[in-house]
Amino acid sequence: MKICSKCGNEKPLSEYYKKYDTKDGLKNHCKTCSKIQNKQQYLKNRENRLEKQCQYYLKNSEHVKEYGKNWRKRNREYCKEYDLHRHYNLTKIEFEKILIDQNFKCAICNEILVPGKQTHIDHCHNSMKVRGILCHRCNTGIGLFKESIYNLKEAIKYIEKHEKN
C-alpha cells in the first residue's frame, strides 16, 4: 500500500505507474491522478501539439503513409476486428454467429461463403442495422438497385415479362 501524493488516498501498489528512478520504482501519484494530470496537460497544449503533428505530417507524409500501410499488414487480424466494430458495431464472435446461423451461405442466393473471401456485411444505410452476410454478387445487386424495394419489384416484373416471350 502507498499514499498518493496528489489525492492523499492510500492505494495498492498496482494502482501506481512504474518509474525507475525512484526508491520503490513507482510514481508518487496514483494512476487516476496521473490520468487527470495528463488530460489537463493535453488540453492546455492541444493547439500546439496539433500544429506540430500537422507540420510533421506535411514534412513526412510518405513515411507516415508507408508506416501505416506496413502496420496494417502486420496487424491484419486486429484491423479486421477493429473495422468490424467501427463500421458495423459487431464483434468477431457476432460476425461468426451470423455466418453459422446462415449455414455459411449467402442470405439471398444460398451460395456457400468462404469467410473473408467475397463476403459482405449487408446493412441498412439509414439505421446501420446489420441484416446479414451476402456474397459479392448479391451485395452489389442490392447496391445497384439503391436498396429500393420498388426498383427490385420493377426488375422482377421486367424479368417475368420477358421470360413469357
Say how many domains are in the chain. Answer: 1
111 inside domain: yes
54 inside domain: no
Q: Which of 26-35, 44-53, 105-114, 156-165 is least confident? A: 156-165
pLDDT above 80: residue 165? no
Instruction: Give the per-residue pLDDT at 117.
Output: 73
41 inside domain: no
Which stretch of DSSP H or E encloses residue 161?
Answer: helix 149-163
Instruction: Give the per-residue pLDDT at 125.
Output: 86
62 inside domain: no
**Domain limits for position 99:** 76-163
> Is 133 in contact with 106 (CB distance < 8 Å)?
yes
91 inside domain: yes
What cell numbers appear for 49 in the block?
501539439
65 inside domain: no
> Is 18 in contact with 27 (CB distance < 8 Å)?
yes
62-118 pLDDT tens trace: 999 999 999 999 999 999 999 999 999 999 999 999 999 999 999 999 999 987 678
What CATH number is attached to the domain comprising 130? 3.40.1800.10
Q: Give the whole-angstrom CA distance, residue 160 versus residue 165.
A: 9
58 inside domain: no
> Is 123 in contact with 90 (CB distance < 8 Å)?
no
83 inside domain: yes
Average pLDDT, whole number, for the chain? 93
Q: Counting every residue, how long is the chain?
A: 165
